[in-house]
Amino acid sequence: MRVLMVGDVVGKPGRKALARLLPEVRTEFEVDFVVVNGENAAAGFGLTDDTADDLFAAGANVISGGNHTFDKREFIPSLDGELPMLRPANYPAGTPGRGMVRIGSTAVINLQGRVFMPEGMDSPFVVVDKLLAELEEEAPKVILVDFHTEATSEQAAMGWYLDGRVTAVVGTHTHVPTADAKIFPRGTAFVTDLGMTGPVYSVIGSRVEDVLTRFLTAMPRRLNVAEDGPVQMNSVLIDIDERVGLATAIQRVDRTLEL
């Protein structure tokens, strides 16, 4: 089995990049299953029903989320719908949506870190243990984890914690692709951060001038998605032995496109 996990889609440029590049990559590598992080797909902050439809139309099987999942209030009821859209599983009890979904023999878990991230989240380590215990009864062959967090140390710790217990642990959130894709000793694929799907000429997706104004003046400035120039899709491709549910290979698949 081959799985593609795609970094945070940022705004309209990211959706355009996904629509153009994901079908090509799916065909080229004969991809069976795709997880796309979509928490920035609607103008850089959150999701809407229409932007979620764009991600599914491009080829996503599951949309994962993060700290911006709830930014568009009108979208929140959709998280309890039938479509496979996730928010981090370690939000407090009673939060709308779900943090895990199973499609056929594949389960996807979405978690959020606590280091340099919004307060109030339950421990992702404790929560993932509970979710894996639930999955023992269903015995999915493949378990994919999107860990949405800021600190590389927290990301690496989760990878080692879940080594041999899940198929893959990939990081999202920083929008910066890392070069440390590897298979851990017990067979779990890992990368600290997938990167992002969005504008190349930007500061992690936002217009350069907006971000520089914040840094240079310390004054509030609305962040807008950068619209000009080439776009990119950052992702990793994971080969999986479904008999044991563990990874056999992982490689970066990063593409750039002139719109």
Catalytic residue list: 68
List, in sequence order, the alpha helices (H) in the chain: 11-29, 49-58, 124-138, 152-162, 208-217
As beta bridge partners, residue 191 has: 170
Q: Which residues contact 43 (CB under 8 A, 6 or more apart)?
A: 11, 12, 224, 225
Letter for the amino acid at 59?
Answer: G
Counts of helices then strands in the chain (DSSP H, E): 5, 13
- Residue in 25, 81, 83 with CA at minimum distance from that of residue 256: 25
Separation between Cα atoms, residue 227 and residue 198, nearest integer Å: 9
* Distance set, CA 45 to CA 65, 111, 228 (Å): 11, 18, 19
Separation between Cα atoms, residue 37 and residue 188, nearest integer Å: 20
What distance lies between CA 51 and its chain's CA centroid? 15
CA 158, 162, 164, 168: dihedral to nearest 10 degrees? -70
Q: Which residues contact 204 (CB under 8 A, 6 or more apart)?
A: 10, 174, 175, 176, 196
